[in-house]
Amino acid sequence: MITLNSAVVHGQALYRVSHQFRGGYLLFGDEIRYTCHSFVFCPKPELEFLMFKTIREDIRSVFKRDPAARNTFEVLTTYPGLHAIWFHRLSHRLWKLRLYWLGRFISTLARWFTGVEIHPGAKIGRRFFIDHGMGVVIGETAEIGDDVTLYHGVTLGGTSWNGGKRHPTLGNGVVIGAGAKVLGPLTIGEHARIGSNAVVVKDVPANTTVTGIPARVASSSTDKEKARKREEIAKEYGFDAYAISADNPDPVATAMGRMLDHVHVLDQKVSDLCRAVNTLGGDVCDKIPEVELDDVDFIDASHQAERQRASAKSPTTKKRATKAKTVTKVTPKEEKDD
C-alpha cells in the first residue's frame, strides 16, 4: 500500500529527475513540455498554437481523403488512425529525449486502443492519414513524408535483423492500399501508389503505380503517354480495347497493343524502303490496297470460307465421308454358256 511518506519520497525523486532535464517542472522537465504540442495542452501560448494548428491540419486531411467523415466531433472521437498519430507524436518526442521505455509504453497503449502499431522511433511528416487503421504496422527506422495515406493492414517492415536503416522511406503524397507490404530499406518516390495486397521489395519511382506479388510498375507518366499513342494507332487499324485503362491493364489488350506497335514499326520501314526504291527510279511500292468493311463481296467470301471450314471440321461430315469410302463394290454375275 502506498503511504503518504512513500508518496512524498516518490515526488522528491521525480523532482530530482526533472531537474536533470533542467526544466524544474513536476513531470520530467521542460523538454517534456515541448512534446505536448502534438497531443496535450501546453502552458506556453506558442506551443498551444502549434498543437491546435497540427490538430486542425489532421482533421482537414481526414475530410479531404474520407468522404464518410461528416463532422469534426465525429472525426475527433471515432477515427482510430487519427488517435494513433497523436499517440505517436507524443511517444516520438519521448524517444528523441531518450526516454525509450516511456515512449514504447505509450505506443503500446496506442496499439491497445487503436489497433495501430507505430514504433516511437519512426519519423512521420505532416497531414499523415491512416484510414480504418486496424492492422497497420510501422517499423522503427521508417520515414514518412507529408500528405501520405495508408489503409488498413499496411506493413512498413524490415527484412533483416541487423541494426541501422532497415525500414522503407516514403516520399510526399504516397498512397498505399489495404493489406500492402513494403519491406526493407527501400524508397517509395513522391506521389507513388501501391495497390492493395501488393508486396514491394524494390524501390518505386515517383508518380508510378505498382501492383502484384512481387510488385511491378503498372503505369507511369511515360507509360500513359505511350498508351495514348498506341490507342491512336489502334484506332487507325480499327482496334479499340474499350474499358481498359493503363492502371488496370488487360493481358490480351496488352498483347494486341504490342502487336500493333510492331505493325506500326514495320509500316514505317516499308514506307522507307518504298521511298528509297522510288528514288532509284522504281515503281514497285504503290500504296498497299486496304480492304474496306463495306466490301460486300469480301464479307460474303469470308463467311463462305468460314462455313466451309466449319463443315469440314464437323463430325457428321467426317462420318459421311468415311461411309462413302467404305461402300462395297458389287461385281456383275458371269453369264453361263448354254
Local structure of 297: helix, strand or coil? helix
In the predicted structure, residue 57 carries a pLDDT above the cut 80: yes
For residues 144 and 158, the answer to whether their CB atoms sit within 8 Å is no
The per-residue pLDDT for range 140-195, each reduced to its tens digit, is 999 999 999 999 999 999 988 888 899 999 999 999 999 999 999 999 999 999 99
Give phi and psi for 219, each to the nearest 5.
-160, 155
The per-residue pLDDT for range 79-117, each reduced to its tens digit, is 999 999 999 999 999 999 999 999 999 999 999 999 999
Please give the distance of CA 327 from its chain centroid, rounded to a whole number: 69
Q: What is the pTM of this model?
A: 0.54
Q: Extract the runs of DSSP E, i.e. beta strands, from 87-189.
A: 117-118, 123-124, 129-130, 137-138, 143-144, 149-150, 155-157, 169-170, 175-176, 181-183, 187-188
Pick the CATH number of 39-219 from 1.10.3720.10, 1.10.1660.10, 1.10.10.10, 2.160.10.10: 2.160.10.10
Residue ranges of domains in the chain: 39-219, 220-287
Q: Which helix (H) or strand (E) holds 69?
A: none
Determine the Cα–Cα distance for residues 15 and 23; give it in Å rounded to an integer: 10
